[in-house]
């Protein structure tokens, strides 16, 4: 097992990487946890905050949150989840179920020598963060979710609900259940795939360019997104290059396997029926997020799902990539929430 050297940050002179878009500006570490070699960034000292990325993102999506949290006095750990980036990509769909994903976070905390953390998750990472908080409240003292409000366990298998909602149309959760076809489609031109996905789910996309939640059943997933002629300033060319380089190297199968485990997750969590997260929690979403039409009811009912909810907010003009699109607002909200916990 290899592990980086802890970074000791000056609490008087604030820390900031010379260029936050440079991945080498951060302290990269590796650990053997739960049977996989996990890559993570480890910065700062203080109470632990774990940031979990979504799809199609990487640890890198939090690069502009890391300095703000470190300078506020937190230890910030940001992994590539299994199947993503520089972390291992185990074979087998079941290797990506929620028990393994949460097990990775528990193992990582043990390796870090930590016994308490605030866990923050975006998109797919919000599913892992919510499950971690529910399953191990002794370790995860608070929860923040971005862009994807996670409901309690449903009464029917997820795929049954998706089919009822889609009514014969194409829907990305259903499309991703196929093994091979979506993997090849997304990997055929990685740059176009990522440009199109990042842009179409963002608040920058014009009406006709926005991600179509439902598409014709004979279309591929990329038919539902649009490749912009020029990408908005919130994602630099260097940042896009990093995402493209990593997904070109790894492909998309590991990421897609999380979606292929959704029915399995439902099956193995029958014991969580009726359970809720009682720790302090917060939700940050984007008012211009195309996926909001799918989850608006879940957003409206978050107070019932999360008895400890401190705040929920939809940021005007912001889409599905809130940490990328609205850095200062997300940083301020996270720091406000963390400050309340320490107060």
Question: Catalytic residue positions?
Answer: 123, 320
In this structure, are residues 128 and 52 in contact, taking their beta carbons and an 8 Å threshold?
yes
Per-residue confidence (pLDDT) for residue 18, from 0 to 100? 86
Distance CA(169)–CA(214), nearest Å, equals 6
Percent pLDDT > 70 in the chain is: 96
Q: pTM, whole model, 2 decimals?
A: 0.95
pLDDT reading at 13 higher than 60:
no
DSSP 297: H
The string of pLDDT tens digits covering residues 304-323 is 999 999 999 999 999 999 99
pLDDT reading at 288 higher than 80:
yes
Domains annotated for the chain, with CATH where assigned, are: 23-342 (3.40.50.1820)
Q: Mean pLDDT across the chain, nearest whole number?
A: 94
Among the residue ranges 248-252, 295-299, 326-330, the one predicted with the least confidence is 295-299
In this structure, are residues 319 and 289 in contact, taking their beta carbons and an 8 Å threshold?
yes
- Residue that has been written with the tokens 């949460």 in this structure: 102
Instruction: Tell me the three state secondary structure of residue 285.
Output: strand
Angle ∠(77,82,85) on CA atoms, nearest 5? 75
Q: Is the peptide bond before 56 cis (omega within 30 degrees of 0)?
A: yes
The string of pLDDT tens digits covering residues 324-336 is 999 999 999 999 9
- Give the pLDDT band of residue 7 (cuts 50, 70, 90): very low
Strand 140-146, strand 281-286: pairing: parallel
- The gap from C-alpha 259 to its chain's centroid, in whole angstroms, comes to 13
Burial of 17 (0-12, 13-18, 19+ CB in 10 A): middle
Distance CA(251)–CA(12), nearest Å, equals 42
pLDDT reading at 129 higher than 80:
yes
Average pLDDT of span 5-12:
36
Per-residue confidence (pLDDT) for residue 342, from 0 to 100? 82
Per-residue confidence (pLDDT) for residue 2, from 0 to 100? 38
Q: How far is CA 237 from CA 45, 65, 217, 232, in A?
A: 31, 19, 33, 10
Per-residue confidence (pLDDT) for residue 39, from 0 to 100? 98
Instruction: Kindly tell me the sign of the dihedral angle through the C-alpha atoms of 117, 118, 122, 123.
Output: positive
The string of pLDDT tens digits covering residues 56-113 is 999 999 999 999 999 999 999 999 999 999 999 999 999 999 999 999 999 999 999 9
Distance CA(139)–CA(274), nearest Å, equals 21
- Give the pLDDT band of residue 121 (cuts 50, 70, 90): very high
In this structure, are residues 49 and 143 in contact, taking their beta carbons and an 8 Å threshold?
no
Strand 117-122, strand 48-52: pairing: parallel
End-to-end CA, the chain: 37
Per-residue confidence (pLDDT) for residue 231, from 0 to 100? 94
């Amino acid at each position: 097992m290899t592990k980086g050297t802890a970074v000791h940050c000056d609490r008087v002179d604030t820390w900031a990487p010379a260029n936050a878009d440079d991945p080498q500006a951060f302290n990269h570490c590796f650990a053997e946890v739960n049977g996989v070699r996990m890559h993570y960034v480890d910065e700062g000292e203080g109470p632990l905050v774990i940031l979990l990325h979504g799809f199609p993102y990487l640890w890198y999506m939090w690069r502009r949150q890391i300095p703000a949290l470190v300078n506020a006095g937190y230890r910030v750990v940001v992994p590539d989840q299994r199947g993503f980036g520089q972390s291992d990509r185990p074979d087998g769909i079941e290797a990506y179920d929620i028990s393994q994903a949460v097990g990775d976070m528990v193992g990582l905390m043990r390796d870090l020598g930590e016994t308490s953390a605030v866990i923050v998750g975006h998109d797919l990472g919000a599913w892992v963060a919510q499950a971690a908080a529910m399953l191990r409240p002794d370790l995860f003292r608070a929860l923040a979710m971005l862009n994807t409000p996670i409901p309690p366990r449903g009464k029917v298998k997820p795929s049954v609900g998706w089919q009822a909602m889609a009514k014969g149309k194409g829907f990305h959760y259903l499309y991703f259940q196929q093994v091979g076809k979506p993997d090849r489609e997304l990997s055929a031109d990685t740059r176009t795939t990522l440009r199109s996905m990042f842009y179409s789910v963002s608040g920058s996309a014009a009406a006709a360019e926005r991600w179509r939640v439902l598409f014709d059943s004979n279309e591929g997933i990329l038919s539902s997104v649009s490749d912009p002629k020029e990408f908005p300033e919130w994602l630099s060319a260097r940042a896009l290059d990093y995402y493209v380089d990593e997904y070109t190297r790894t492909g998309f199968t590991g990421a897609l396997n999380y979606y292929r485990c959704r029915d399995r997750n439902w099956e193995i969590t029958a014991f969580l029926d009726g359970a809720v997260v009682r720790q302090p929690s917060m939700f940050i979403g984007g008012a211009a997020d195309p996926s909001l039409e799918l989850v608006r009811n879940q957003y409206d009912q978050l107070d019932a799902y999360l008895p400890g909810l401190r705040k929920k907010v939809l940021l005007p003009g912001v889409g599905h990539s809130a940490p990328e699109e609205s850095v200062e607002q997300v940083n301020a909200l996270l720091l406000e929430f963390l400050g309340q916990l320490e107060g």
